[in-house]
C-alpha cells in the first residue's frame, strides 16, 4: 500500500535523513586502504545511536546482522561487514544505510573510491551519480515511476553500462520497504502515478558489464554474474508540488 506522508512525518524523515547523510559522510572520511568493513559498521552504528531516538534501520531488518551494507567491487548490494573484509587501494565500496527516527525511516547509499582508482572506474561512479540525479529530476508530481526508471536507464545505457533489473527502489516511511516499487528502467507514463506526499527511495545500481546478478552462499551478498564492477547511489525523495525534495542530503535539498 502506498502511504501519503503528513508534513510532520516528512519533517521527521528529513531529520532522519540528515543523520543518515552525516553518517555516510563520516564513513566516507574513514574509508581508506587497510580499513575493515566491520570498523566502518561500528563507526556508523555508534554515530547513529548518538542521536536520541535514532537507530540503524538495517540491523535486524529481515534478520540482517549489521547496520551498513558494504559491497566491494563486483558486489552490487547487501554485502555484510566483517573484520575479514579489509579494503585495498583501488577498490570501490558501496555503502548503503538506513536511519529510523520516531518510527520513520530514511535510506541512502553511495559508492566510495578506496585510495586511487582508474579513470574508467571513476567514470562508472560519475555516470551512476548522474543517473541518480536524472531519476530524481523525473520524480515530479503527476509523473510516473516509469519516468524515473526511463531517466536512469537512458543515462546508464548511453554510457555503455547496464542497469540491474532484479533489484529496485521503493516507497519508504513507517516501513522500510513500502509501495511503490521504483525500477531503474522503464517507459515514460507507465507505472504508479507520483502524488504529493509520497516518499520514495531512488537507487540506481549500475554495472560496468551485463545486468545479470546472483546471490552468494551467505544469502545476502548480491554480485554481478560476470564479475564486472557495480556502483550504487541512492536518496530518499519526497514528491512535492515544488519539485522533488531530497530528504537524505545536507542540506536536505542539495542534489547528489
Question: What is the distance between the alpha carbons of residues 35 and 38, in angstroms, rounded to a whole number?
Answer: 8
Residue among 246, 104, 94, 236 at smallest CA distance from 164: 94
Check whether 138 has a pLDDT greater than 60.
yes
pTM: 0.96
CATH code at position 80: 3.90.230.10
In-domain check, residue 222: yes
pLDDT above 90: percentage of residues in the chain: 97
In-domain check, residue 55: yes
In-domain check, residue 100: yes
In-domain check, residue 59: yes
Give the torsion sign (CA, 38, 48, 11, 253).
negative
In-domain check, residue 76: yes
Confidence of residue 253 (pLDDT cuts 50, 70, 90): very low
Check whether 75 has a pLDDT greater than 60.
yes
Check whether 26 has a pLDDT greater than 80.
yes
- The alpha carbon of 243 is separated from its chain's Cα centroid by a whole number of angstroms, namely 20
Check whether 53 has a pLDDT greater than 80.
yes
What digits encode the pLDDT tens for the residues 172-202?
Answer: 999 999 999 999 999 999 999 999 999 999 9
Confidence of residue 255 (pLDDT cuts 50, 70, 90): very low
Confidence of residue 247 (pLDDT cuts 50, 70, 90): very high
In-domain check, residue 256: no
Write out the residue range of the structural domain in which residue 199 sits: 7-246
What is the tally of structural domains in the chain? 1
Question: What is the distance between the alpha carbons of residues 143 and 150, in angstroms, rounded to a whole number?
Answer: 12
Check whether 254 has a pLDDT greater than 60.
no
Show the CA angle centred on residue 72, arms to residues 128 and 19, nearest 5°. 70
In-domain check, residue 254: no
Confidence of residue 251 (pLDDT cuts 50, 70, 90): low
What digits encode the pLDDT tens for the residues 99-125?
Answer: 999 999 999 999 999 999 999 999 999
Confidence of residue 1 (pLDDT cuts 50, 70, 90): confident
In-domain check, residue 251: no
Give the model's pLDDT for residue 252. 40
Amino acid at each position: 500500500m502506498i502511504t501519503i506522508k503528513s508534513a510532520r512525518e516528512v519533517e521527521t524523515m528529513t531529520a532522519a535523513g540528515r543523520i543518515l547523510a552525516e553518517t555516510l559522510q563520516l564513513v566516507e572520511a574513514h574509508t581508506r586502504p587497510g580499513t575493515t568493513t566491520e570498523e566502518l559498521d561500528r563507526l556508523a552504528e555508534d554515530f547513529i545511536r548518538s542521536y536520541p531516538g535514532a537507530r540503524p534501520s538495517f540491523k535486524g531488518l529481515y534478520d540482517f546482522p549489521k547496520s551498513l551494507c558494504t559491497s566491494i567491487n563486483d558486489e552490487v548490494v547487501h554485502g555484510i561487514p566483517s573484520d575479514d573484509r579489509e579494503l585495498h587501494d583501488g577498490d570501490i565500496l558501496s555503502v548503503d544505510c538506513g536511519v529510523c527516527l520516531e518510527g520513520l525511516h530514511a535510506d541512502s547509499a553511495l559508492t566510495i573510491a578506496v585510495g586511487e582508482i582508474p579513470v574508467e572506474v571513476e567514470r562508472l561512479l560519475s555516470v551512476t551519480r548522474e543517473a541518480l540525479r536524472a531519476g530524481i529530476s523525473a520524480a515530479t508530481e503527476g509523473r510516473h515511476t516509469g519516468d524515473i526508471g526511463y531517466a536512469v536507464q537512458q543515462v546508464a545505457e548511453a554510457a555503455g553500462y547496464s542497469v540491474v533489473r532484479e533489484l529496485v527502489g521503493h516507497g519508504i516511511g513507517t516501513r522500510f520497504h513500502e509501495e511503490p516499487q521504483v525500477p531503474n528502467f522503464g517507459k515514460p507514463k507507465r507505472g504508479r502515478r507520483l502524488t504529493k506526499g509520497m516518499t520514495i527511495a531512488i537507487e540506481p545500481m549500475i554495472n560496468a558489464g551485463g545486468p545479470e546478478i546472483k546471490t552468494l552462499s551467505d544469502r545476502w551478498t548480491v554480485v554481478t554474474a560476470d564479475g564486472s564492477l557495480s556502483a550504487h547511489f541512492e536518496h530518499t525523495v519526497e514528491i512535492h508540488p515544488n519539485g522533488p525534495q531530497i530528504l537524505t542530503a545536507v542540506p536536505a535539498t542539495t542534489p547528489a
